[in-house]
Amino acid sequence: MSLLNLHRLGFKVRAAFDGKLEEFIPVFHGWIQRKAVDGLLVDVADYSHLPNSPGVVLVGFEADRSMDATEGPLGLLYMRKQPGAGLKDALRATLDSCVKLEDELKGRLRFAPSDMLFIANDRLAAPNTEAGWKAIEPELKALLPKASIARDASDPRRRLTARISGLAGDARSLLAAL
pTM for the model stands at: 0.93
How much of the chain, in percent, has pLDDT values that exceed 90? 80
Mean pLDDT (whole number) for 32-59 = 94
pLDDT at 51: 85
* Listed residue (55, 59, 167, 175) closest to 115, CA to CA: 167
What is the residue-averaged pLDDT of the chain?
Answer: 92
Are 24 and 66 contacting, i.e. CB atoms less than 8 angstroms apart? no
- Check whether 28 has a pLDDT greater than 80: yes
Cβ burial, residue 32 (10 Å; 0-12/13-18/19+)? middle
Task: Provide the number of structural domains found in the chain.
Answer: 1
- CA dist 172 and 100 (Å) reads 9
Half-sphere exposure of 160 (CA within 13 A, CB side): 24
pLDDT at 71: 67
Express each pLDDT in 95-129 by its tens digit.
Answer: 999 999 999 998 899 999 999 999 999 988 899 99
- Check whether 1 has a pLDDT greater than 50: no
Provide the residue range defining the domain that includes 139: 3-177
